[in-house]
Chains A and B, each alone.
Chain A
Amino acid sequence: MAASLAPGGSNAASHSPRTPSIPDTPAPALSDHLLTPASISSVEVYGATNTRRSLLDHLFRPLVENPGPTTTLGELLNRINRASEKLVRLDIFKQEGYGVFISDARDRPSGASGLHPERTELDVSFRVKEKSRLVLSAGTDFGNAEGSAYTNAVLRNVFGGAESLSVNASTGTRTRSAYNAVFSAPLNGNPDLRVGVEGLQSSTQKPWASHEEQLAGGSLRLVWLARKTGDSHALAYSGVWRQLTGLATGASPTVRADAGDSLKSSITHTFTRDRRDSPTLPQRGYLFRTVSELAGWGPLHGDVSFFKSEAEVAGASSLLSTARFHKSWTPITVGGSLRLGLLYPLAAGFSFGGPTSPSRINDRFQLGGPTDVRGFKLGGLGPHDGSDAVGGDVFAAGSVNMMFPLPRTGPASPLRIQLFANGGRLVALRNEGREKENGGPDSNLALNSSAVLRGMKSAVGELASELPSLAAGVGLVYAHPVARFELNFSLPIIRREGEQVRKGLQVGVGINFL
């Protein structure tokens, strides 16, 4: 008996990653066979010359563990399949040349003497080819509203345990320079649970608030991917020295007051559930993401102390009626998304009621821009001091859109025409009760906990008190696999004094659009 399980579909018995290669409704003879007791006699791996034995042990121990008399052939095949999937996901082996071969040990010409006669004994062998250990690349990148050029070096399987070291240097339209190095390794040989260490240094221009921010720091990260559901959790500790410097001549007093150094020491949890069929042009499915950050409180220390949380829901759905008429018709899709965020300043140290300093500009939220609330400039929403977007502590933003196919294009076409309306509200926590005191500088910046709570309540209340700033328009969407491009014509409908709108054409390049 010989079976082959291959990930790439190149071998005979290809299978999808989620289901085992065993047919769903096996023939009666086969299903009887699967219930026979079986055990594994040997596991062999060929070609993993640079891979550590301990890593492979982690993967294959489940195969040979508890070979009780009740273990069936079907169960074993499942285990082999799971181990094979994990091996592939370590991302250190090539797709071509990968193969799993299973043979009956009783067929072996020699050495079959000690085997149990009534049990199926299997010899399993994995054939792998290691990917090259050093990969150098260079290219251009599109982030949200920014283009950049990068060079990247990845050292794979550094210590033979599927560890990777990635060193990246880039420069761009806004990022003057950015260097980072990430070392990451699977925990216990589990490719879905990785631990990483990162060091970074960067210098980014923020023209919407007349300054440049320089960062230097590091983070420790634990990422867990739930294979079955596609959900992922990431937990990270990071310590970053931020330096707000290089102020423009016309920088506002708000930005000048926040210029200088601060250390942020924080723990961040990110949860992502992405059930969309495509991240750049979703036709159906939904995305749910939350980011929660606790900075400076308790043992974290640092110069800033707050709790910051953001949630995002986005979804899309095809209008069924068109799809039902004709298979080749591109369906019209409707989509929508909602983002919420809140930054709650905390007292430093372990106290809950101590003096609390209000948020700094580099911790506050910004809202507006071509990938965000379209029809507004970058950071165009929310409080402005002069021409500087100084950010806010609470925000809500939402969008609705309809995507129409272009005439004479098929469903596979990456082009769409969109109609959209989006809007949002970005509100700052203010120091109530101490406005305009003698006209001089405030006697003390710090707030007490009840003032923070009062300010927060009124800021949240303000979100809903008036209509949000709003813009609507029409545009062309091009979904490239790496990024989505939008060319929109939009008009502002509602704005606030000081908010910076963009009437007419606006180009957006990014991955994550509102």
Chain B
Amino acid sequence: MSVWPSPAVPRPLQQLFDRVPLLTYDANVLPARSQSATSSRLPTLYVFSTDSDARLGAPSYNPGCLKWQTFLKLARVEFQIVPATNHASPTGALPFLLPARPSPSASASASASPAPAPVSSARLQKYALEHGQHKPAEQTPTLRLDAYQALLDVPIRNAWLQALYLEPRHAALLDRLYVAPASSSRWVQATLRHQLRRAAEAEILKTSSSAGGSASATPILVDESAMYAGARDALDALADLLAESETDWFFGAPSPSLFDASVFAYTHLMRRLLDGGADGEGEDLKIPARLGALVRAAGTGELERHQSRLLEMLWPGESLSGR
């Protein structure tokens, strides 16, 4: 690191600079909190999770994070997960992956080397293919794939946002997953809750208004039942697609692909978090926000079986109700 920006340091001065400091001790030890953040030699995937789930590598409770967590596991990348918030991310959204630091020499501490550049979710597929021990089946981009991907990105995602973020009956769940971990202060929690809900609304309106072509300036009342009906149709379509496949996986692939991971991210979390059971709602299928019930009812149970298969494959021993 040069002291002077452009003019070269005169030689005698440079010789003086080279001679100091006269004594260099070993590096300071990092604080307790960062000891755990820097002690691992594994790449770290930053996801929404809890401390205890992260330690076990359990599935994240955020669909976007779970998709990539699943895919990295499919590609047999060795990694650890760390609970984080969007603030930790270079793009403002989770997940992202911090590659392992270049292996330091035995004596120097790991903290001496600069932190590696983070890998955002957009580049995770490439990373997984380069670093994984197994190449998951790859789908060539086709219109058909795009059409099914769009089912996940619009109707299924919107129903997920509506059910978890905006549905009053799931307010406690939303608090437990996204609000309470951020801060114990009610004031902070109330602000965050409000921000989360506004963001979810905006996301829903972004896709539904472009579909309907209505002016975005006026707030549109979202038709909830139409949204859940859209999700049901989309899940049915995915179940039919899976039924057509000769293998257990989408598009007849020999092994699960990124698309399987994307579907699993929603179906697993819908069944795990939004299936009534836990909230003691019984078997009342009429409650539209029970997306888990829609997953079970889709087709002839293809999606439910697909979800169980992937869960058993990647997280053996993990059950829907947690551990």
Contact = CB atoms under 8 A, between A and B. Distances in A.
A117 interface: no
SS of A interface (majority): loop
Contacts of A499: 28
B211 interface: no
Contact of A503 (B17, B35, B88): B17
A254 B28 contact: no
Interface in A209-232: none
Interface string B58-71: 00000000000000
B41 to A, nearest CB: 6
Given A249-B118, A250-B114, A497-B108, A390 B30 contact: yes
A243 interface: yes
A354 to B, nearest CB: 14
Contacts of B54: 441
Given A385-B38, A385-B115, A442-B36, A498 B31 contact: no
Interface string A490-509: 01111111110111110000
A496 B85 CA distance: 33
Interface in B101-123: 108-109, 111-115, 117-118
Given A392-B28, A498-B111, A360 B40 contact: no
B33 A254 contact: yes
Contacts of B90: 247, 249, 251
B87 A495 contact: no
A439 B41 contact: yes
Contacts of B113: 386
B320 to A, nearest CB: 25
A357 B51 CA distance: 13
Contacts of B33: 254, 257-258, 357-361, 445
Interface in A39-86: none
B28 A383 contact: yes
Interface residues of B, number: 60
B43 to A, nearest CB: 11
A256 B44 CA distance: 11
Given A359-B31, A359-B33, A502-B3, A261 B183 contact: yes
Contact of A430 (B31, B85, B184): B31
Contacts of B32: 358-359, 428-431, 445, 447, 455
B26 interface: yes
A440 interface: yes
A440 B80 contact: yes
A430 B55 contact: no
Contacts of B27: 383-384, 496-498
Contact of B31 (A246, A364, A435, A504): A364
Contact of B40 (A357, A441, A445): A441
A166 interface: no
A253, A257, A358, A503: most-surrounded residue (chain B CB, <10 A)? A253
B16 to A, nearest CB: 7
B172 interface: no
A496 B36 contact: no
B168 to A, nearest CB: 24
B147 interface: no
B82 interface: yes
Given A302-B184, A440-B40, A428 B115 contact: no
B12 interface: no
Contacts of B30: 254, 383, 385, 390, 428, 430
Given A359-B31, A382-B28, A393-B31, A256 B37 contact: yes
B188 interface: yes
B84 A435 contact: no
Contacts of A494: 21-25
B34 A253 contact: yes
5 contacts: A249-B117, A431-B35, A445-B33, A496-B25, A497-B112
Given A260-B182, A445-B36, 16 more contacts: A241-B183, A241-B191, A244-B87, A247-B89, A256-B46, A358-B31, A387-B114, A427-B28, A428-B30, A430-B29, A445-B33, A493-B21, A494-B21, A496-B27, A497-B108, A497-B112
Interface of B: 3-4, 9, 13, 16-17, 20-42, 44, 46, 51, 54-55, 80, 82, 84-85, 87-90, 98, 108-109, 111-115, 117-118, 182-185, 187-188, 191-192
Interface of A: 239, 241, 243-247, 249-254, 256-263, 265, 301-303, 357-361, 364, 382-388, 390-393, 426-431, 434-437, 439-445, 447, 455, 466-467, 491-499, 501-505
